[in-house]
Amino acid sequence: LIPGTIETIADLRGRGMKVGSTTGYTRSIMQRVLPVAAAQGYRPDNLVCSDDLAEGRPGPLGIYKCMVDLAVYPPAAILKVDDTAPGIAEGVSAGSVTVGLALSGNAVGKTLEELAAMSEPEIAVLRDHATRLLKDAGADHVIDSIRDLPRLVTQLEA
């Protein structure tokens, strides 16, 4: 898991938030991934896979299914957090508030160890590139990692 995931999920649940997950992966792939994540302490309240629906990302159906399954609405009350442009576009099309993950995401593609070995100017270039991709997809907010989400939620709640 990305460092900070377990603590962030606990923080969100402590605020009364539910955790739904939509993915571009198929159910058969996620049947292998979920037990590994669960062994590390991550269990979403709901999971919608790309092949669970007639249409996947960037359409809104995955988020809509999460909304129905978790009894959460309206879409504007949902934070769609993702590290990919199609995931952000899914949130935009559903009418959700979108949060992009820059440094811990696909656009950067570096391990934690690789990032730690880089200089701040090198990291800034990667951050700027990822932020631009996520903003171009429609992200309302971009943070470095899931670890930064509780601070953003506090700001949004204020």
> Are residues 155 and 14 in contact, defined by beta-carbon separation less than 8 angstroms?
no
pLDDT recorded at residue 46: 96
> Are residues 60 and 78 in contact, defined by beta-carbon separation less than 8 angstroms?
no
pLDDT recorded at residue 109: 86
The residue among 97, 102, 104, 103 whose CA lies nearest residue 153 is 97
Q: Count the Cβ atoms, other than its own, within 10 Å of residue 138.
A: 17
pLDDT recorded at residue 96: 97
Q: H helices of the chain, where?
A: 5-14, 27-39, 61-70, 85-94, 112-116, 120-136, 149-157
pLDDT recorded at residue 102: 96
The residue among 137, 71, 91, 101 whose CA lies nearest residue 8 is 101
Let me know how many helices (H) and strands (E) the chain has, helices first. Answer: 7, 5
Q: What is the pLDDT of residues 33-73, one digit of tens each?
A: 999 999 999 999 999 999 999 998 999 999 999 999 999 99
Q: What is the pLDDT of residues 88-142, one digit of tens each?
A: 999 999 999 999 999 988 889 898 889 999 999 999 999 999 999 999 999 999 9
pLDDT recorded at residue 106: 83
At 80, the pLDDT band (50, 70, 90 cuts) reads very high
CA pair distance 67, 88, nearest whole angstrom: 16
